[in-house]
Amino acid sequence: MEQGIVITKCLKEDVAAAVAARPHDRTFIITDDTTRRLCLPLISGTRGLEGADVISIHPGDAHKDIESLTHVWTELGRLGATRHSCVINLGGGMVTDLGGFAASTFKRGVDFINIPTTLLSMVDASVGGKTGINFNGLKNEVGVFNNARRVIIDTSFLKTSDRENLLSGYAEMLKHGLLNGDPAWAVLLTYDIESPDLERLSALVADSIAVKERIVSLDPHEEGLRKALNLGHTIGHAFESHALSVGRPILHGYAVAYGLTCELYLSCVKTGFPEGKLRQTATFVREHYGTPAVSCKDYDALIELMRHDKKNTGTDINFTLLADTGDIRTDRTATPDEIKEALDFIREGL
């Protein structure tokens, strides 16, 4: 099923149109406790949402788990959801990932609409059809590919976003810029994400989504080209899972930013990525995201987490690397010693 993406200036009108596009017997809104308080009022009174039941889960990636998923399934059943119902996921990436998975599996699948409320979910999590939960200490270990019927993006939600969450989403935009080529990458390195012009950011969001849409449309189930979107994520997910395991969780985009630096280092060593562009990108990451809180004593644990990555084949750790911005090389491998060099690079500076 194709995914309709709407970058809206009239949120209630576009939500009403999305709900009315197909007949439903019941409508359910999945939020977390934060978006229920801050974002749900922005769609209250929308035509078609009269009488919609709200199912709320605890916020934060630590709650993107089987317990929260079971809670959503239980509430959908208790409140009388059927295969002809519609689920609206209102929130950040945790909500759209988990809510999309719940909707995709309840009664073998009900319609769902994503309304992302963070920059990360706008440019990444809510777009492209990946749904899922964390399981057994691993990121997104269980899930399905299934497109939302509509994704409605309103950057006015970002007016109240804090610096860290804006930067978290911006890391995925930086990844898309690296995949797209020099002009897109250069614009992202010069845009002032610390004091964002939201109108300009809306245009950059549209450009970023277009990169992901183009790649996903050519490879919806990650059999080839879509692996490009994993740039920064093999090492990034290891940083993220490790931080969670030691009780110091970090935002997904921060982990991706660190992963991009490491994997561009591997790209420089293994596929000829220009050293100057590596250093420009690494400087941007260091200035905005700092450095990961790991030491060389953590390297073996990080590499073990990388071995569990879903992209791997056999015993090899699989990476997406770049020969240059826009010049993508999927299915590349690196040895543990090469990975440790990349980890040294991000920890010890330029």
**The domain defined by 4-160 carries CATH number 3.40.50.1970:** yes
Asked if the model's pLDDT at residue 310 lies above 80, the reply is no
Band the pLDDT of 1: cuts 50, 70, 90.
very low
Top pLDDT among 346 and 348 is at: 346
173 φ, ψ to 5°?
-65, -40
Domain limits, the chain: 4-160, 163-348
Mean pLDDT score, 138-154: 92
164-205: per-residue pLDDT in tens? 999 999 999 999 999 999 999 999 999 999 899 988 999 999
207-228: per-residue pLDDT in tens? 999 999 899 888 887 888 889 9
Fold matches, 4-160 and 163-348? no
Compute the radius of gyration of the chain from its Cα atoms.
20
In sequence order, the β-bridge partners of residue 28 are: 53, 87
Position 19 scores a pLDDT of 95
Top pLDDT among 125 and 85 is at: 85
250-302: per-residue pLDDT in tens? 999 999 999 999 999 999 999 999 999 999 999 999 999 999 999 999 999 99
The CATH code belonging to domain 163-348 is 1.20.1090.10
Position 3 scores a pLDDT of 59
Minimum mean pLDDT range among 68-72, 136-140, 336-340: 136-140
Cα angle vertex 141, ends 166, 262, to 5°? Answer: 55
- Report the alpha-carbon distance of residue 82 to residue 128 in Å, rounded: 25
In sequence order, the β-bridge partners of residue 177 are: none
Helices (H) and strands (E) in the chain, counts: 13, 10
User: Is 211 in contact with 225 (CB distance < 8 Å)?
Assistant: no
Token pair, residue 290, equals 């700092």
Band the pLDDT of 155: cuts 50, 70, 90.
very high
Determine the distance from the C-alpha atom of residue 213 to the mean position of all C-alpha atoms in its chain, rounded to a whole number: 14
User: Is 329 in contact with 320 (CB distance < 8 Å)?
Assistant: yes
Closest CA to 228 of 143, 326, 314: 326
- DSSP alpha helix (H) spans, 181-298: 182-190, 198-218, 233-245, 252-271, 275-289
Predicted TM-score (pTM) of the model is 0.90
- Specify the residue for token string 């994997």: 263
